Amino acid sequence: MKPFCFADGQIIPTEKASIHPMDLGFIRGYGIFDFFRTVNFQPLFLDSYLDRFFASAEKTFLPLDYTRAELKAVIQDLIEKNHLKDGGIRMVLSGGISQNHFSPAKGKLFIFAESLIFPAQEKYEKGIKLLSLEYVRPIADIKTTNYALSVWDSMRWKDAGAEDVLYHMNGIISESSRSNFFIVKDGTISTPDTHVLMGITRKHVIELAGEVQIRPISLQEALNADEAFITSTTKVLLPVTQIDEHEIGTGKPGPVSLDLLEKFRKLEKELCY
């Protein structure tokens, strides 16, 4: 965590940020957040992240008493004060202090600046393992702060040498716990269409790919894919070479995945350098 954050309507030392113990964000795990990267002191895809943050606030009935211009100004101030060349910005809106300790109320907005550690280069070169899990994330189109299941279950991943999980229900895949999921079969790229967060990295990967099928994908299809990969803000694009004990394709990152990763890196440079 970097030295300065935004809380109580102003930029303050991060160590002084606080939340009321009866806030729904604390006692019920109810709140929203979003997270984006800074590249060369520039917030990457900021408008898209703000679009999602405002939409999440509206869908969760949480008042957000700041304009887009005001949030952009705060974010720029935080980048400068924290000298955040390549890092992350986390926006959090809590559920508020509710009279009945249950219904959404007026929450508290925090914006934090963070250091960012990417996955090891070896994971991009060799690919990662996912563990299948029968589950659908609640209100999946909203980026809520409720990660209780995945935080608890993450100890299982570590024991199994996995990077993350792959959610599915009735044989149909949705997403990973913090990433979107794609498969490649016979050169065609596909990604799930329902019970998923509309990821910003997902959006730009789809644009870079040119043609992607957005449709239901079965777990069996994923196991039989030529390639698979996940996308997220912090991982960008990570090849998936194993699901449970099943090897995907050749067991190595495929050409389509690696080409898209290279195109995304070029896009970053075009936008931020």
Catalogue the E-assigned strands of 178-235. 180-185, 188-191, 212-214, 227-232
Residue in this structure with the two tokens 């990417």, named with its chain if needed? 118
Of 109, 151, 88, 149, the closest CA to residue 25 belongs to 109
Rg of the chain taking only CA atoms, in angstroms: 19
Residue in this structure with the two tokens 């931020």, named with its chain if needed? 272
CATH level 3 topology of 4-114: D-amino Acid Aminotransferase; Chain A, domain 1 (3.30.470)
CATH of domain 121-272: 3.20.10.10
d(C-alpha 16, C-alpha 194), whole Å: 40
Indicate the pLDDT class of residue 158, thresholds 50, 70 and 90: confident
Residue in this structure with the two tokens 């990967």, named with its chain if needed? 205
Mean pLDDT (whole number) for 77-88: 97
Extents of the domains making up the chain: 4-114, 121-272
What confidence tens digit (pLDDT) does each residue in 120-144 have? 999 999 999 999 999 999 999 999 9
Indicate the pLDDT class of residue 195, thresholds 50, 70 and 90: very high
What confidence tens digit (pLDDT) does each residue in 30-70 have? 999 999 999 999 999 999 999 999 999 999 999 999 999 99
Structure confidence at residue 84 (pLDDT): 97
